[in-house]
Amino acid sequence: MQRRTIEIGTPGSRLSVSYRQLVIERREYPRVTLPIDDLGVVIVDDRQASYTQAVLVELMNAGATIIVTGSDHLPLGMMLPLQGHHLQTERHIAQAGAALPLRKRIWQELVRAKISQQAQILAHFETDDGRLSELVKMVKSGDSGNHEAQAAQRYWPLLFGTGFRRDREADGVNAFLNYGYAVIRAAVARAVAAAGLIPSLGVFHTRRSNPFCLADDLLEPFRPFVDWRVRMIRDSGSLTEGLSSKQNRAALLSLFNEGVMIGARQLPLLGAIEASAASLSRSFAESHVDLQLPRGLPLGQSGYGEESEPG
């Protein structure tokens, strides 16, 4: 079952539960009910929203992730269900005991996939790919040559112009990237936990204060999808409206509807993330790297679920 991603953004929204339905009540709008078991990610972008403990409990029991945003509309935090895979303990042991060569090979494949995606994004916009396709072949185990950083130095100026610098504190394009990455990161963290893995135990990211190191590892090949959508928003002229625009946020969230290739299958992005997490879990369990990672550009709206505020 493909789960839905929804955003609650109308000021003064009230959330409650009734018979396994999420009930959304908003002033001047009709009452909306959604099956809780259909929800994968719920984004609350309303500082006046009210909801009961029962809402959180039911969403967690259903395996959904809850994201809360700040006044700038950027995600501030998220809640993940603790209930994991039925083989969770076994998979935790396999992950914690993974040998260094295996972890390095996993990171190699993640970096290769990310750079390959970046090259295809540039090609889509009829831009010089900065010879990123050649860099893919040069990535060694553990990316010892730091080709990920080399690719980034070439990629950003080609995608957004020579004056662009990736800055997590900046507005404009950077703010849109931050929003998109944060939402996709939440979905990756949810998928990693559901696959029976420890989100904080990464293969490359190891910062002690980061509770989602493994999610940040697996996020890398999915980042270019956000870059692709942000570039389209910029080219449409909508960037000046900022993230306060519901349409801009909805455009970013609609990424979850995009069909992408994962292995030999076409899946909506949320399903692709889950498939990648499951393949990562198998790689730890079998001590053999066999990752299913996205390849190619989105294939268009796949028609699964819907994003943005319901109603």
Same domain, 109 and 48: no
Domain of 43, CATH number, reads 3.100.10.20
Where a domain ends, among 53, 79, 105? 79
Give the phi and the psi of residue 34 in degrees, each rounded to 5: -130, 135
What's the average pLDDT block by block, 10 residues per block, for the chain (311 residues)? 80 92 90 90 88 91 86 80 66 91 96 96 84 93 94 94 90 94 91 87 86 93 96 92 89 90 89 93 94 88 43 38
Same domain, 152 and 96: yes
Same domain, 71 and 118: no
Give the tokens for residue 299. 């294939």
Residue 304 has a pLDDT of 31
Same domain, 61 and 92: no
Residue 83 has a pLDDT of 63
Give the tokens for residue 176. 């849109």
Which residue range is the domain that position 200 belongs to? 88-295
Question: From the CB of residue 38, how many other CB atoms can be counted at a distance below 10 Å?
Answer: 16
Same domain, 33 and 157: no
Where a domain ends, among 79, 113, 135? 79
Q: What's the predicted TM-score (pTM) here?
A: 0.83
Same domain, 196 and 247: yes
Domain of 131, CATH number, reads 1.20.120.920
**Cα(44)–Cα(31) distance, rounded to whole angstroms?**
17
Largest CA distance in the chain: 58
